[in-house]
Structure 1
Amino acid sequence: MGDLERISLHVHDKISALQRMLDLSAAELPQQKIKKLGQELLVLGRLMEEFEHCVDQQKEQLKHLKDLEKFFQVNVEVVQQMKDNIPAHIPHRKGPVSGNDAVMNQNQAETVKRPSRTVVKEMEYVTVPEFESIPQYMRGRVTYDQLNVVVDSFNTALTAKYKILSQSLKTLNNHSRKLQERFKNQETKDTKGWYFIVEDDIREFTQTKVDKRFQGMLNMLRHCQRLRELRGGGLVRYALS
């Protein structure tokens, strides 16, 4: 039983007792009864003060609960908005560069210039700030997610190409042997040290449509320094930057 309910019952009992005393007022009350009546009224007055104090406390608690309800409602809306707007592609975060990291990055750069046939570096997703830095005339109606879908297609074609290049001829079927020969014929002294693909690789290994819109997105990736073009022999090669 709460304090408010307990005090309410107590007040009710006192009022009932006083009512019974008043009902006897028609008869002459002895002095002792009059004194008792005064004491009961005094106790009732204190109970009423305590009752009012409890009511004020309950009002404060109710106000506090309403404020909490508003606070949690706002947080629920914020969390829901975050949930509804989680990007499909989350770029990897680059940590701070220490002295050892700088040496490591230099070694990694040298590794890129001398790529192995088994480990292929992939293009990183475009970040939101990078996407927003692309001029509007270049972006057009392309969305952030659509641009990173092209990044996925590029990585798929790149990985498939260099997987075939890393295999020996005897492990390949006729189609893969022809592809391997084509890949090697596309290499020149200018492509040495670079991972690259051409448009035919996108058509071969992905479902991406190679059209003007796709070309526009390649330009956007070049603007974000994700790739560079290596031209020669009438062929445009798209290499990782």
Structure 2
Amino acid sequence: MASSVLEDLCLHINTKISTIKKILQLRNIGQESSLKSMLSKIGYEMFFLNELLNKMEMELQGQEKLKNLLKELQKSAGTDQKEARYLCKNIPPHLPKPTASCVTGLMVKSGEQTKVTEPEPAKKSTKEPRFIKEAALITMEEFKNVPAYMRGRLTYDQINAVVQDINKTVVNKYKILHQPPKSMNAAVRNLYHRFLEAETKDTKGKFFIVEADIKEFTQLKVDKRFHSILNILRHCQRLREIRGSQLVRYVIC
């Protein structure tokens, strides 16, 4: 029994001695000039790894919040769908029917007789509103399928915000092009002629804008981030480019 206790004591002492030797060896390594650069590199890698882990943790937290939000939306959509199905199956059989004709004229009494004066038919406008093509917003599914190298740190909302600014530019531009030139002031007429000069045979019948149009109608900065979003919009087939005469034309798909 005493022998077993003595062996355990010897093992414990030997372990402590081994630990002290390792500590002394590590301290000596830090003092050797040939190993200082390696230790410095290891320290830098450890710092970089720690930063990467912090970013991953923040990304996971963001994804967790997004997942919870999507669950709530899914639950809400399911409830709305059930209510819609119930309403479709339980339509009241005696709904009020619209009258065959609605008298909107003026009622003028003359003695005991009442005359109905029908209004004159409204004059139909000879000019119909012209169609202006706009780019559809990016869906969440499309956003997820964009390659990571192309997406970078851009968010779903940032991309669709640019799509909305592009649509705003297209609408404002083609509203001017659809106006009769005689009704324009000098500033608008200058824009009108600039729009016409940017057109080519390749853009005939298409809706397009250039960077100058974006600067004219929005506060959007035409910078590196903007061009990264344009790459994503081309990838998602919202835009395509037509180049010529030192000008890039962004055509709405």
Q: 2:208: which partner in 1? A: 196
Task: Report the TM-score when normalising by structure 1.
Answer: 0.53
User: How many equivalent residue pairs?
Assistant: 135
1:119 alignment partner, SS class: coil
Pick from 164, 184, 193: which aligns with 1:181? 193
CA distance in 2, matches of 1:196, 1:123: 11
CA distance in 2, matches of 1:172, 1:80: 49
Q: 2:227: which partner in 1? A: 215
Task: Report the TM-score when normalising by structure 2.
Answer: 0.50
Q: Structure 2, unaligned stretches of length 5 or more?
A: 1-67, 77-127
Counterparts of residues 140-155 of structure 1 (less than 5 Å) = 140-155=152-167
Q: 1:127: which partner in 2? A: 139
User: Relative contact order, CA 8 A, sep 6+: which one is greater?
Assistant: 1
Question: Deviation above 6 Å: which 4+ runs of structure 1?
Answer: none
Q: 2:217: which partner in 1? A: 205
Structure whose alpha-carbon radius of gyration is higher:
1
Counterparts of residues 3-152 of structure 1 (less than 5 Å) = 82=72, 118-152=130-164
Counterpart of 2:72 in structure 1: which amino acid? M
Q: Percent identity?
A: 53
Counterpart of 1:225 in structure 2: which amino acid? Q
Q: Cα RMSD over matched residues?
A: 2.5
1:193, distance to aligned residue in structure 2 (A): 1.8
Q: 2:170: which partner in 1? A: 158
Q: 2:47: which partner in 1? A: none
CA distance in 2, matches of 1:138, 1:176: 38
Residue 211 and residue 80 in structure 1: after superposition, are their counterparts in 2 closer, same or farther (change >3 A)? closer
CA contact (8 A) 1:222 1:228 kept: yes
Could you list the per-position Cα deviations for residues 3-41 of structure 1 after superposition, in whole angstroms to 9, with x for gaps in the alignment?
xxxxxxxxxxxxxxxxxxxxxxxxxxxxxxxxxxxxxxx
